[in-house]
Amino acid sequence: RTGVNMLPATTLKIANEFPNKVIAVKEASGDLAQMMEIINNAPEGFDMISGDDAITLPLIAAGGSGLISVIANAFPHEMSSVVNFALEEKYSEARNIHYQLLNLIGLTFANGNPGGVKAMLSKIGLIQNVLRLPLVPVIKETEQKILLASLNETNHEKLERLSYKVFLLGCDLAN
């Protein structure tokens, strides 16, 4: 984990020179054009795995093969449904869930990873929102936005797994 973008030429060189050793890349550059260049020029059997929850759907539509996700820690069923529907070319179904999660995905990274997803998991009641330095929790404003996004009418109905616990926590926060 370096935070440095590996250019397509480098990825493709590695893929071509080590075909039985390097079989995929987790791509999180956020640059769909770069990702498509790799997919288009990669050797047979080399996979592109999304490392960016927000652009997983378009990446799979362009030939990506899966996802290493952050938001799936809090919403495993929903995010795996997006991926599976997209891989089955059921884009309407994938898109519906994708847009339900999109605001929460943005909030996951608003104050850095993993603070956002840890705040979500804390709101669900699965963990305590404790991070060790140099990692820090999200700011209170982001935490409130996460709660409100989870309670929004669409998410409240369609992301049933969270609704009751988040609703109760929301009532506690309002007092």
List Cβ neighbours of 165 (8 Å cut-off, separation of 6 or more).
Answer: 123, 124, 125
Round to whole Å and give the CA distance between 43 and 96: 33
Query: Residues near 151 by Cβ (< 8 Å), separated by ≥ 6?
Result: 166, 167, 170
Cβ–Cβ under 8 Å, residues 15 and 22: yes
Q: What is the pTM of this model?
A: 0.82
CA–CA–CA angle 52, 3, 14 (5° rounding) = 85
* pLDDT band for position 9 (cuts 50, 70, 90): very high
Distance separating alpha carbons of residues 103 and 108, to the nearest angstrom? 9
How far is 96 from 98, CA to CA, in rounded Å? Answer: 6
The pLDDT score that the predictor gives to residue 172 is 46
- pLDDT, tens digit, 9 for 90 and up, residues 73-124: 999 999 999 999 999 999 999 999 999 999 999 999 999 889 999 999 988 8
Tokens standing for residue 172: 């506690």
Rounded CA separation 62/57 (Å): 9
pLDDT digit string (tens) for 32-82? 999 999 999 999 999 999 999 999 999 999 999 999 999 999 999 999 999
